[in-house]
Amino acid sequence: MRLRRRGLSDVARLSLATLLLGAPAAVAAQPTPIRVTSAVNATREDVNPNRTYAAPVIAVDPANADHLVAVAAEVRSRGCGFLRSSDGGRTWNRPETSPAHKDYPFCFQTETGPAQAVVAFGRDGTVYYAYAGWDVGDTLSDWAIGQGGGWRGNVSVILSRSTDLGETWETTVVRKARGLVGDAQENNRPVSTLAVDTSGPQDVVHVGWKASFRDRNRPMSAISRDGGRTFSEPIDLTGGHFEDESVRQGLAKAAKMERTPAVAAIDFSWPDLTVDGEGNLYAVWAARLLRGPQLDNSGTYLSRSSDGGRTFTVRELSPLPEVFYYPVLKWSAQGGPKGTLHLVYEKEGPQRATWVQDIFHIRSLDQGDTWSKAVTLNDDGEPAKLVGQFHPNMAIAPNGRVDVAWWDFRNDGGNFANDVYLTSSQDNGTNWSPNVRVTDRSIGRRIGVWYGNSDIRQAPGMIATKNTTVIAWDDTRNGDETTQSQDIYSAVAQFGALEPGTPEAAQYGLAVASGVAAFGLLFLALVASRKRRAPTAPG
């Protein structure tokens, strides 16, 4: 009996040991080098040799990292198309339906820097798509802001919304400029930014653009608290900051002007918006007194609103003559109770040669009140070669990884060709990875519209998921001097292995069930064999 007990106890110990050994071990995540896939042609369905796609902007569904959508503006048709992917950006297709409002079919504009249209996800897979909408009649105004392409005349702000990944769309006119005459005319372009706050009971949608009037211009936004169905009146993002004469005096002094100008004399750029976890709205934009090439002589400013855009506090980020070109602003939940504001931009590098630009990053842990020292992100390392980096973009992954991509001429061997490069920070912008080439071949810019006096160029589009970043760019590899074709290409930068097809928990569940079932079968077999061997009671 003792022996039997000891035997049972041994079995118990053995079983326990087996149990402990077999318990699933937590596998520590290993840092993986950034791995970039081959590029795919996102606009391959369009075989028209005249196609000229530009300015991709992409967004990812926060609830499903495989669902991506993209703006694909087609310059020659002046329309802002739509692409979608259901496999995390490995393949793309174009739904039949256009996101454009039927009365505002065109979006194309000739501004260098901002997007042609912008796209973002809200909750439940809702896609928001905003653009500067116009039709031919809107360009017949006598208001010579510029010429052609919707640059002249009344341009409205349009928001489209889809809950079925672009199969169908509902549209809202955010700001209607059509029909305005005389001094009332307004030109709302570019529509440069879209930010969706999903923290409340309904999506709060912010659309940002530059509004030009006959006598002034302003960075503007409008807010929707009902998921994009209705919008507020336009909100001036400068928040009256320049009404203060001392502020204008500072601007005039920096611009070496003798007289303090009126507010209307200030030239503003388009804004970039972001919202933090508490629903506070931030906007970055530029202001200048001396006109000239785009954004030159500009100071950069940050507006913050904690009351849904009713009031703003404004801070100067780059006092003249330090110019932050093409700033991009994003908020991350990392870094402390207020999260972190990340800002990237281009600026002259150490050579101080015109348009030999570098890419810089700064961050703020206190909602924009103070900022870190600027860090150069491009590591081409030989400033004497006079190579430029331009048009940065940034994406924040759900796990806080910060990714930045830009156009880079470091590989140009005299073809006027550039590449997209990427860097990434796993520690909220303190340290950055070595630069990684994203494009799988350099993109020739002697053809297409990126340059060649067309200057339809913007930052590469990008989104970040937990383990990947998808980057999209306009690419001339299928064009030549006759067709000048431009396509949208994309590639995926991978930071870690994707989750398995069958979730790990399910795999362990199946293994445990198998173990239990195996024991059950063995037990039944034993019982059956015992019963068979048991002597039959005498009758």
Binders of another protein among 456-475, rule CB under 8 A? 456, 468
Minimum distance, C-beta of residue 405 to another protein, in the bound complex (Å): 16
Q: Does 11 bind another protein (CB under 8 A)?
A: yes
Q: Residue 508 interacts with another protein (CB under 8 A)?
A: yes
Minimum Å gap between C-beta 1 and another protein is 12
Which of 34, 42, 46, 52 touches another protein by CB under 8 A? 52
C-beta of 384 vs 538, nearer to another protein: 384
DSSP string for 127-186:
EEEEEEEB-GGGGG-S--SS-STT-SS-BEEEEEEESSTTSS-EEEEEE--TT--GGG-E
**Binding piece for another protein, criterion CB under 8 A, among 61-69, 165-173, 218-226, 412-420:** 412-420
Task: Round to whole Å and give the CA distance between 368 and 513.
Answer: 54
Binds another protein (CB under 8 A): choice among 111, 138, 186, 403 = 111
Which of 24, 179, 240, 277 lies at the binding interface for another protein (CB under 8 A)?
24
Q: Is 319 in the site for another protein (CB under 8 A)?
A: no
Q: Report the residue from 76, 176, 225, 315 that binds another protein according to the rule CB under 8 A.
A: 76
With CB under 8 A as the contact rule, the residue among 411, 426, 436, 466 that binds another protein is: 411
Of the candidates 507, 495, 503, the one whose C-alpha atom is nearest the C-alpha of residue 30 is: 495
Task: Confirm or reject binding of residue 449 to another protein (CB under 8 A).
Answer: yes
Taking alpha carbons only, the member of 358, 449, 352, 340 closest to residue 402 is 340
Q: How far is the CB of 366 from another protein (least distance, A)?
A: 32
**Part of the chain binding another protein (CB under 8 A), chosen from 162-170, 191-199, 227-235, 292-300:** 292-300
Task: DSSP letter for 353, please.
Answer: -
Q: For residue 78, which of 48, 116, 44 has the smallest C-alpha distance?
A: 116
Query: What gap in Å lies between CA 240 and CA 493, rounded to an integer?
Result: 42
Residue type, 314: V
1 contributes a contact to another protein by CB under 8 A: no
Q: Tell me the site size for another protein, rule CB under 8 A.
A: 101
- Using the contact rule CB under 8 A, the part of the chain among 59-67, 279-287, 334-342, 494-502 near another protein is 494-502
Amino acid making up residue 531: K
Q: What is the footprint of another protein within residues 162-181 (CB under 8 A)?
A: none
Q: Cα(215)–Cα(236) distance, rounded to whole angstroms?
A: 15
Q: 491: which strand partners?
A: 471
123 binds another protein (CB under 8 A): no
Contacts with another protein in 350-409 (CB under 8 A)?
A: 351-356, 384-386, 388, 390
Sign of the alpha-carbon dihedral angle for 474, 94, 118, 466? negative
Q: Which of 168, 230, 430, 502 binds another protein (CB under 8 A)?
A: 502
Question: What one-character-per-residue DSSP string does 237-265 give?
Answer: TTTTGGGSHHHHHHHHHHTT-SSPPPGGG
